[in-house]
């Protein structure tokens, strides 16, 4: 069940609910992102705007006691709170699923959607109270835009992947199907998984405002990312290529920690992903990349052979990626040369293995 101003990702909902025994009494959903909303209603209830699911035996038990429950709790005005009380009396407690989003927030959600929890995206509520998800688009256009990626591979939607560019002291973070960040500094994932607080609290109240930790928007060039947003998608033989473009200039100097190597020349980022669904519950993906005015990123899952050859950069060089083993890429610069010039030796870059939860 859910509200009519919510966006639901049905394939992911089906996959998540398939984990549970449908013959048992189940009450599945998520509480609000707002501490004040939870304080006013309940911390242990599923909010109806973000949606929730009841198993068939749970519905049968609820229907049998519904009239009695409504009379008992006649003073409760919110339907989802009333239902949570009824279910509690039947012995059912909430099973939280982080992918349901009540979105009791206001303003720009880009910071939150760029650091989504490691869980399938199930719903987004309150579109009428939020800014459009993409810069330069209205709300309707933003919904159509995010569904371009979701209609191809919902299992990867908003899943965060991280890589480090050691030669430049950069960090890259991709929220698949939505955004890509380039930091001119090295940050661990424990920091990057915290949403940038581009949004505001739903209600005026006391600190803390949210049920999760955040990062403040920074004007420090060593902390503020370069933002790229999902632009287009191309299905190829063995996977999907998503493109992310820069929508605005950062307007900052380069970070001294990166040796003053600025990411300002980057105009777009292309991410290649395998066609197989991402198992978000079991691992994180890592990637390697090529750099220049355009950046190419490839997720890997094993095998050998060349993965990508970029157009030549301003210096006339391009970069070929070779996959040697799972989660390892070797980049190889291809310089313009004559037939007699020896091929330069490859150099290792950005090696990461998966980390199991």
Using alpha carbons, list the distances in angstroms from residue 143 to 128, 178, 228, 240, 335. Answer: 12, 11, 18, 20, 43
Helix 79-89 and helix 56-72, axial crossing angle in degrees, nearest 10: 110
pLDDT of residue 92: 94
- Report pTM: 0.78
For the chain, which ranges sit under pLDDT 70?
276-357
> 190-197 long-range contacts, Cβ below 8 Å, gap at least 24?
191/215, 192/115, 192/160, 192/162, 193/115, 193/117, 193/160, 194/115, 195/111, 195/112, 195/114, 195/115, 196/110, 196/111, 196/114, 196/115, 196/225, 197/111
For the stretch 64-94, pLDDT in tens is: 999 999 999 999 988 899 999 999 999 999 9
Contacts with 189 (C-beta within 8 Å, 6 or more apart), sequence order: 160, 162, 284
For the stretch 45-61, pLDDT in tens is: 999 999 999 999 999 99
pLDDT of residue 238: 79
285: tokens are 């993906």
């Amino acid at each position: 069940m859910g509200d009519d101003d919510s966006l639901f990702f049905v394939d992911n909902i089906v996959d998540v609910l398939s984990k549970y025994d449908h013959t048992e009494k189940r009450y599945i959903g998520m509480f609000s992102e707002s501490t004040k909303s939870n304080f006013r209603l309940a911390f242990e209830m599923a909010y109806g705007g973000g949606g929730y699911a009841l198993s068939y035996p749970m519905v049968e038990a609820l229907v049998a006691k519904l009239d009695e429950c409504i009379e008992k709790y006649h003073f409760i005005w919110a339907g989802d709170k009333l239902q949570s009380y009824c279910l509690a009396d039947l012995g059912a407690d909430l099973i939280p699923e982080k992918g349901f989003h009540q979105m009791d927030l206001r303003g720009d959600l880009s910071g939150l959607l760029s650091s989504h929890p490691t869980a399938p995206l199930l719903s987004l509520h309150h579109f009428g109270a939020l800014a459009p998800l993409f810069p330069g688009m209205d709300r309707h256009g933003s919904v159509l835009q995010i569904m371009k990626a979701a209609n191809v591979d919902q299992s990867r939607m908003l899943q965060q992947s991280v890589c480090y560019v050691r030669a430049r002291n950069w960090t890259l973070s991709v929220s698949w199907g939505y955004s890509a960040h380039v930091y001119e500094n090295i940050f661990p994932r424990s920091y990057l998984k915290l949403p940038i607080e581009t949004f505001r609290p739903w209600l005026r109240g006391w600190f803390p405002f949210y049920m999760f930790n955040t990062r403040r928007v920074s004007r420090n060039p060593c902390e503020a990312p370069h933002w790229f947003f999902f632009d287009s998608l191309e299905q190829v033989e063995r996977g999907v290529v998503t493109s992310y473009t820069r929508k605005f200039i950062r307007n900052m100097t380069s970070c001294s920690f990166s040796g003053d190597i600025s990411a300002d020349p980057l105009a777009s980022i292309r991410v290649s992903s395998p066609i197989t669904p991402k198992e978000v519950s079991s691992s994180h993906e890592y990637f390697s990349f090529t750099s220049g005015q355009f950046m190419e990123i490839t997720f890997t899952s094993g095998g050998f052979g060349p993965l990508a050859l970029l157009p030549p950069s301003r210096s006339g060089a391009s970069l070929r990626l070779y996959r040697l083993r799972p989660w390892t890429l070797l980049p190889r610069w291809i310089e313009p040369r004559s037939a007699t010039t020896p091929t330069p030796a490859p150099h290792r870059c950005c090696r990461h293995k998966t980390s199991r939860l």
